[in-house]
Amino acid sequence: MTIAVSLVASFPSRPWRNGRGMTREIAAGEGWRVSLADIDADGEFSTFLGLKRSLALASAGRLTLTGLSPAAVTLEARGDIVRFDGSETVSACCHGQSLRAFNLMARAGIRAGLALHDRAFALPAGARFVLLPLAGVWSVEGASRSVSPDWIAMGGGDGRSLFLRPDGHASACLAACVFQTT
């Protein structure tokens, strides 16, 4: 399995469809996408009909999302995650701070998930993955180097599990996993 390790800054940044933020597409496939968004101001998110969304706070600060069913949600710590339907009209309040959000979007019928890990974990066999460390240094089995904040590791899709472990205390890593349908 080939595991790519890249600086976040190496992914091109482009404006959101609605012009209210910037995003870096990290990985995409048929019916799914993983991206990292910089949110500098309050505003409405673009809608994505037919997609389920998972969004994690990837920086310090607070992010309040309104328009969610059944109620608004405030993400208050790095790694806090909210899941919602991409067809919902969602507005974001940054509480006066610039923020970063890690996003996983997948079409219904595609098994996908976003999780926060603070200790050693295994990625399941067959999963395509994108890892975003939030704190600490992480050893990724099969990678040419460890990853830390401001780095991304991605790969997978083959038939074996992959193990990751933090190289110390106070570690946190977001993992987006997608299982392609055949």
pLDDT computed for residue 1 by the predictor? 62
Higher pLDDT, 44 or 17: 44
CATH of 13-107, one of 1.10.10.10, 2.30.30.90, 2.60.120.10, 3.30.70.420: 2.60.120.10
pTM for this model (two decimals): 0.93
Superfamily of domain 111-179: Jelly Rolls (2.60.120.10)
pLDDT reading at 160 higher than 60 = yes
| 172 burial via Cβ count (<10 Å: 0-12, 13-18, 19+) | buried
Place of tokens 């994505």: 48
Where along the chain do the CATH 2.60.120.10 domains lie?
Answer: 13-107, 111-179
Per residue in 53-75, pLDDT tens? Answer: 999 999 999 999 999 988 999 99
In sign, the C-alpha dihedral spanning 27, 30, 32, 37 is: positive
- Arithmetic mean of pLDDT, 150-166: 88
